[in-house]
Amino acid sequence: MTAPRFHRIVTIERFIMDQEGLHPEATGDLSNLLYDIALATKVINSHVRMAGLADILGTEGVVNVQGEVVQKLDEFANLTIQDSLLHAGRVCVVASEEDADPVPPPADYPKGKYVVLYDPLDGSANIDVNVSIGTIFSIHRRITTGSGAGSLKDCLQKGNVQVAAGYVVYGSSTMMVYTTGQGVHGFTYDPTIGEFLLSHRSITTPPVGKYYSVNESNFPRWSLPVQKLVNRYKGLDHGYEAKNSRYIGSLVADFHRNLIAGGVFCYPADNKSPEGKLRLLYECAPLAFICQQAGGYASDGHGPILDVEPKKLHQRSPLFVGSIEDVKLAEATISGRIS
C-alpha cells in the first residue's frame, strides 16, 4: 500500500525566510519589510470583505493629488500601509499615490535603508460595484547617505534598480504576488487561519498570449499607430492572429489574469492624456519588474519601462505590459519599425 503523499503547507513568512537563508549576507530587514506589507494587506482585505456591510463605501468628499475623488477605503488602505511601515525602523521614507509628497517616519522613530512606493487601493473606482481591486508596491534601497529620514531623491529611482515589487488582488480569493528578483511567486490568503499560503511557485507568463486588455472606448483619441496595434490584436490586420478581448478596468485584476494566462495589458497615451495616465512609480515600474521576472516585458511604447528615469513623484506613463512577443509588437508598431 502506498503511503499518502504529504503536502507541505508553506506560509508566506516561511517562504520569505527560506529565501533569505539563500543569502548569508542578508540582514533580515527586507524579509521583515515584505511581511509588514503582507500584514497591512490582511487588514485591508478584512475591510474590503466587509465593504457592503459596514460604513466604508462611498467617498471622503475630497480629491487627491491625482485629481481623483478619494474613496473611504482608499484613505483607510493608505493609512494602514503607512502605519505598518513607518514605525518599524525598516524604511527611511514612503510615497503613496494618495499623498502629494513623500512621507518620512516620525521624528522619534528609527529610519531604515528601504524606500516603499505604493498604490494603496488600485481600481478603487470599482469598490462600490464589487469588482476586484488591489494594492501595488515597489521597494528600493535608499540612495541618500546618513541615518536620517529619506527624501524625494530616494523615491525618484529607475525601475531597474528595484529590490522587490508585488501586488495583492482582492478578488474571488485574495492573492499576493511578489518578486525579489528571483522569480515571481504567488500566495493565496486562507481566511480560516489568517495566512497567505504558497499556491503559485515560480510563475512564468507565456511568450505569446491569448488576451488583450485595453479600454477601447478611447479608440478615437489614440494615435494611428496605436489604433493599428489594437486592430492587429483583434486580427483585423492581415497576418495577425486574433486575440480575445478581456478588460475589467482594474489594473491589478487585468494584469494578474494576463500574467497567469498570457496576454497584454495596454494603457496608451491619447490626445486627452498625452503623457499617459498610469503612474510610473506606483503602477508601471513595479508591474514591469514582476512581469520581467516572469519572462514577460513592459514598455512605454518606445522602450523598457524599467529604464525610464522618473523626474516627478507622480509622473505618468503609457504602459504596454505582458507576454513578451505581444509587447514587442506594440513597441515595433508604435515606434514605426513595422508599418
Q: Is residue 49 very low, low, confident or very high in pLDDT (cuts 50, 70, 90)?
A: confident
Residues 8, 190, 139, 276: is their CA dihedral positive or negative? positive
Q: Is residue 55 very low, low, confident or very high in pLDDT (cuts 50, 70, 90)?
A: low
pLDDT at 147: 87
pLDDT at 7: 57
Mean local confidence (pLDDT), 251-270: 97
2-11, 12-21, 281-290: segment of lowest average pLDDT = 2-11
State the pTM of this model.
Answer: 0.92
Mean local confidence (pLDDT), 129-137: 90
103: cell is 512621507
Mean local confidence (pLDDT), 44-51: 83
Mean local confidence (pLDDT), 3-27: 80
Q: Could you give the CA distance from residue 279 to residue 302 in angstroms, rounded to a whole number? A: 17
Phi, psi of 12 (to 5 degrees): -65, -35
Q: Is residue 146 very low, low, confident or very high in pLDDT (cuts 50, 70, 90)?
A: confident
Q: Is residue 116 very low, low, confident or very high in pLDDT (cuts 50, 70, 90)?
A: very high
pLDDT at 295: 98
pLDDT at 329 over 90: yes
- Spans of all domains in the chain: 12-200, 211-335
CATH code: domain 211-335 is 3.40.190.80
Q: Is residue 21 very low, low, confident or very high in pLDDT (cuts 50, 70, 90)?
A: confident
pLDDT at 3: 55
With beta carbons less than 8 A apart as the criterion, state whether 322 and 265 touch: yes
Range with top average pLDDT, 46-60, 117-131, 199-213? 199-213
For residue 55, with 0-12 CB atoms within 10 Å meaning exposed, 13-18 middle and 19 or more buried, which class applies?
exposed
Mean local confidence (pLDDT), 126-130: 76
Q: Is residue 67 very low, low, confident or very high in pLDDT (cuts 50, 70, 90)?
A: low
pLDDT at 27: 85
Quote the mean pLDDT of the chain: 91
What percentage of the chain exceeds 90 in pLDDT?
Answer: 79
pLDDT at 323 over 70: yes
176: cell is 499576493
pLDDT at 6 over 80: no
CATH architecture for segment(s) 12-200 = 2-Layer Sandwich (3.30)
pLDDT at 69: 52
Mean local confidence (pLDDT), 169-185: 95
Q: What string of DSSP letters covers 62-115?
A: EE-TTS-EEEHHHHHHHHHHHHHHTTSSSEEEEEETT-SS-BPPPTTS---SEE
Mean local confidence (pLDDT), 118-134: 86
